[in-house]
Amino acid sequence: MLNTRTVLFALGSLALTLALVLHSRTATGQAAQPTTEIKVDNFTFSPETLTVPANSTVTWTNKDDVPHVIASTDGLFRSKGLDTDDHYSFKFTKPGTYNYFCSIHPKMTGKIVVQ
Ligand SMILES: [Cu+2]
């Protein structure tokens, strides 16, 4: 027989289960895909050397009012010309050291260290 108490208990258990499922999903998503930002400002990558765990997505944002291109030294990745406030993202799956530069201003260099 259903009485008010049983119904309330069932609803409470359901809400708790939902909350736990939603929470664990969010936590797993954050752990699996860390995201890190690099600012391109005043012809400098900031930070110039960035250390991240494997499977990190790194996003460059151009804060200068001239275009820049993010190009890896070994040709692994290369952005289009980034105008002001444009973004470019690359996911680093394998550990290693990745040197890159701006193909328009080759004196601009940076490094991603993937652990
Ligand atoms: Cu540049």
For 55, residues 6+ apart whose C-beta sits below 8 A from its C-beta are: 32, 33, 34, 91, 92, 93
> Cα(114) to centroid of ligand 1, in Å?
23
- CA–centroid distance, residue 110 to ligand 1 (Å): 12
Do 75 and 23 fall into the same domain? no
| Same domain assignment for residues 78 and 109 | yes
Q: What are 34-43's contacts with CB under 8 Å, separation 24+?
A: 35/59, 37/61, 38/110, 39/63, 40/64, 40/68, 40/70, 40/82, 40/102, 40/108, 43/105, 43/107, 43/108
- Rounded Cα–Cα distance for residues 13 and 7 (Å): 10
Residues 52 and 100 placed together within one structural domain of the fold? yes
| 115 Cα: distance to centroid of ligand 1 (angstroms) | 27
Note the pLDDT of residue 44.
Answer: 98
Domains contained in the chain, number: 2
Same domain, 54 and 109: yes
Instruction: Return d(Cα 49, Cα 95) in angstroms, integer.
Output: 15
Do residues 108 and 57 both lie within one domain? yes
Residues 97 and 66 in one domain: yes
> Using the 8-state DSSP alphabet, how is residue 111 labeled?
E
**What's residue 24's pLDDT?**
47
Domain identity same for 39 and 22:
no
The model scores a pTM over 0.85:
no
Instruction: Give 10-residue mean pLDDT values along the chain (115 residues).
Output: 59 54 47 77 97 96 98 98 98 98 98 97
Tell me the residues surrounding ligand 1 (ion) with CB < 5 Å: 68, 102, 104-105
Instruction: Tell me the residue range of the domain where 12 lies.
Output: 1-32
